[in-house]
Structure 1
Amino acid sequence: MLTDFGLCKESVAVDGIVHTFCGTPEYLAPEPPFYSRCKAEMFENILHAPLQVRSGSSQASLLKGLLGRDVSKRLGGSSDLAELQEHPFFASIKWNDLLVRKVRPPFIPKVASPCDLSHIDPEFTLQPVPASVNECQASGTNEAFPGFSFMNPVEYVAVNPGS
């Protein structure tokens, strides 16, 4: 079992409150539409700025529903997945076919290897890689955790139906 202690803090009392900010401010919920280079302004935007989405489409309705500040009124907040599946944006989705992987993706990238970055914008691929991040291993193995692997639970059940 792997564990990430990156957000761990020592010497916190049982009922104590920690005021340390951990994480990436850009991904505080509701995330995307409130970005600012100034973190204080971004926090203020996340808390108080109105959501600006072009109205009139099921896509706008979906975004407004997912990015609502009040969790109890947020899309999916009352009946979870069923509420999302019933949204007009997903009207064309055949959920049972999707679940059993009968739906063909609209785009299947052609990649030359596990390290092929040709479909990723160079704006990101040309960024320097921090020393703490391992480069992609051509062999597909991760030397940092020898003996560990991952198998999608859905694929595992398909391979081992009695499990």
Structure 2
Amino acid sequence: MAHLKPENILLDAQGHVKLTDFGLCKESIYEGGQTNTFCGTIEYMAPEILTRSGHGKAVDWWSFGALMYDMLTGAPPFTSDDRKRTMDKIIKAKLILPAYLNIEARELIRNLLRRQVSHRLGSGLEDALAIKNHPFFRHLNWDDVYAKRYEPPHRPILKGDDDVSQFDTKFTIQTPVDSPDDNILSESANQVFLGFTYVAPSIIADMIRPNFNNNGCRSPKKMVSSELTSHTLNHKMYDSNDYRPCATTEAMDISDIPSNSLKNVKSSTLSRQQLNKPKSPVISGLVQDITINR
């Protein structure tokens, strides 16, 4: 489902139509499938979106009808100075079609703006084909449309691929701002992974890397308790009774750890009795003398 409105319809360098702004597009809505997502521009929203009763692909055909009405009359079919009143009109107001529209246009718009989804043109099994076969489009050859064989009524005059003269300078003079990187999980999101019994070998390799610092890293807190992490950063001692391995030796395959990284770890096997030692040193962010028994 697309975010269809005039502002999202552009022309390419040859004057052919291009749909843009798929940031609010809903994917993977198949025949009979529904969603309850509420987003878009009110004036072009179908009533079932506004009533939050669940909606499917047919909302696109309502939006297409509202867009067609806008292009032929100069304004969307239901508008108001108040957002709430606009929504109320879309849900229950009578559709008024200007007399200057021809019969085919009025019939097509009326059938696209049916509030009962099952009666809306395009909502059946034929989908878009029912609309393409409507008499309003009888002079169009859709194969020629897709192949861009028709001569567009307007072709932009451009100096090159980077020419932005056709865009409003209000936007082109602005300094581009990169979106923030949100790849690092937050502390609250990390809690979801606590208690897992498997740790990826790549995480182990990261932990034994020299000068390892787990600030901002997404995984080390799943390896050891938060208390251990805090003590590690402050070069303090920790109680081995608090240490609980979250993976078996089978899960942590040493062959997956780079040989140069292994040089940074002192390896030894502790017996159950050794694990009960009261204190173990933590040096440079690495827990020494600990391996996990089977």
The TM-score with structure 1 as length reference comes to 0.55
The one-letter amino acid paired with 1:74 is R
Instruction: Find the counterpart in structure 2 of residue 158 from structure 1.
Output: none
Distance 1:66 1:136 in 2: 41
Q: Would you tell me which structure has more strand in proportion to its own residues?
A: 2
1:69 matched to 2:69? The reply is: no
Q: How far did residue 42 of structure 1 move?
A: 0.9
Instruction: Find the counterpart in structure 2 of residue 42 from structure 1.
Output: 86
Contact 1:33 1:52 in 2 (8 A): yes
Among candidates 45, 55, 58, match of residue 28 of structure 1:
45
Q: Flag structure 2 segments of 5+ consecutive residues without an equivalent.
A: 1-21, 25-35, 47-61, 67-75, 180-294
3-state SS, counterpart of residue 58 of structure 1: helix
3-state SS, counterpart of residue 92 of structure 1: coil
For the aligned residue pairs, the C-alpha RMSD in angstroms reads 3.5
The one-letter amino acid paired with 1:117 is Q
List per-residue Cα deviations over 1:110-158 (Å, max 9, x = no partner).
Answer: 245532237xxxxxx48x66xxx99487xxxxx848xxxxxxxxxxxxx
Distance 1:21 1:102 in 2: 38
Work out the percentage of aligned pairs sharing the same amino acid: 30
3-state SS, counterpart of residue 93 of structure 1: coil
Q: Which has the larger Rg?
A: 2
Q: Which has the higher contact order (CA 8 A, sep 6+)?
A: 2
Q: 1:36 to 1:61 in 2, by over 3 A?
A: same
Distance 2:95 2:139 in 1: 26
Contact 1:115 1:136 in 2 (8 A): no
1:93 matched to 2:140? The reply is: yes
1:102 matched to 2:149? The reply is: yes
Instruction: Find the counterpart in structure 2 of residue 150 from structure 1.
Output: none
1:116 matched to 2:165? The reply is: yes
The TM-score with structure 2 as length reference comes to 0.33
